[in-house]
Chain A
Amino acid sequence: MHAAVVVFPGSNCDRDLAVALSRAGARVTMVWHKDTAMPQGVDLIAVPGGFSFGDYLRCGAIAANSPICQSVKAHAERGGYVLGICNGFQILTETRVLPGTLLRNAALKYICRPVPLTVTTADSAFTCRYEAGQTITVPIAHHDGNYHADAETLAALKDEDRIAFRYARNPNGSADDIAGILSQNRRVLGMMPHPERMAEPAHGGTDGAAMFAGLVDQLAHA
């Protein structure tokens, strides 16, 4: 499985994400934001966390309009797999690859701590190594993670089983406790928590590792 990790000025989880993917068996290429095309034959594009372009204007808004994001959009539209974590999730909503948006946390505080998540669906390449209903612990680290969408979008996410993860105890005011959502074709996942920061014993837990193992396994056979 060949994964591309996109690097923006201000990304700070790009290398953690590359390590998590390569430890799971993926071949990883780093792609700079000024590049206009993905390497040939990429199976997964991973958009990492951080503070792309200093969070200027809105989190992810400038990155969403950078040259490489046209390829991210095109890859998603072709039915390619995309994973956006934290700032990566914000970028995917700004590009409208995923619906809704991430508002300032309800308590206005930056929150950085491990949180319990409920795996809401196991029906995706990202979550296939988990059981639906399982609780895992993964850290969050964000100021703008309060998921917001109109009632119609929220109903569609629920009806189509596209909520991938919910917070077991809502830390940021997210609608319907949403921590991560899938695209309609279930091949794009955006989530605020950081599975790449809980992927080996030295991190204090390995609950995130199953996501990368599942992805490598599913996409190698795709």
Chain B
Amino acid sequence: MKARVYIMLKTGVLDPQGEAVRHALGSLGFDGVNSVRQGKVIELDLKDGTTEATINDMCERLLANTVIESYRVEIL
């Protein structure tokens, strides 16, 4: 089985990389980009039957830093 984990900075945490991307889009002439947030996608190839609880545990303990990041798990 496969799972995909989406990791994003929490709302309110400044994302300087996203901000730099927003500026770069502006200088390419793309108007109206109000904000850019940059995150991570991690794909996991897992033993069949791995529970969502186990994947959440992986996120809590390693994949995301929950001080600043939130995550969402998608089972494929």
Which residues of A are in contact with B by a Cβ distance under 8 Å? 57-58, 61, 65, 93-94, 99-101, 103-108, 146, 148-149, 173
* B68-A106 in contact (CB<8A): no
Q: How many A-B residue pairs have CB under 8 A?
A: 35
> Does B17 have its Cβ within 8 Å of any Cβ on chain A?
yes
Question: Which of A61, A93, A94, A106 lies in contact with B14, CB distance below 8 A?
Answer: A106
CB-CB under 8 A from B14, the residues of chain A are 103, 106, 148, 173
* A106-B67 in contact (CB<8A): no
Nearest A residue to B12 via CB reads A150
> Does B25 have its Cβ within 8 Å of any Cβ on chain A?
no
A103 CA to B67 CA, complexed, in Å: 11
Nearest B residue to A104 via CB reads B16
* A101-B61 in contact (CB<8A): no
Question: Which of B17, B61, B65 lies in contact with A108, CB distance below 8 A?
Answer: B17
- Assuming A101-B67, A101-B68, A148-B68, is B16 touching A107 (CB within 8 A)? yes
Nearest B residue to A59 via CB reads B65
A105 CA to B61 CA, complexed, in Å: 24
A65 CA to B57 CA, complexed, in Å: 14
* A65-B20 in contact (CB<8A): no
> Does B13 have its Cβ within 8 Å of any Cβ on chain A?
yes
> Does B28 have its Cβ within 8 Å of any Cβ on chain A?
no
CB-CB under 8 A from B68, the residues of chain A are 101, 103, 148
* B13-A103 in contact (CB<8A): yes
A122 CA to B18 CA, complexed, in Å: 38
Additional pairs, 20, CB under 8 Å, beyond known A57-B63, A103-B16, A149-B67: A57-B62, A61-B62, A61-B65, A65-B61, A94-B65, A99-B67, A101-B65, A101-B67, A101-B68, A103-B68, A104-B16, A105-B16, A106-B14, A106-B16, A107-B16, A108-B16, A108-B17, A108-B20, A148-B13, A148-B14
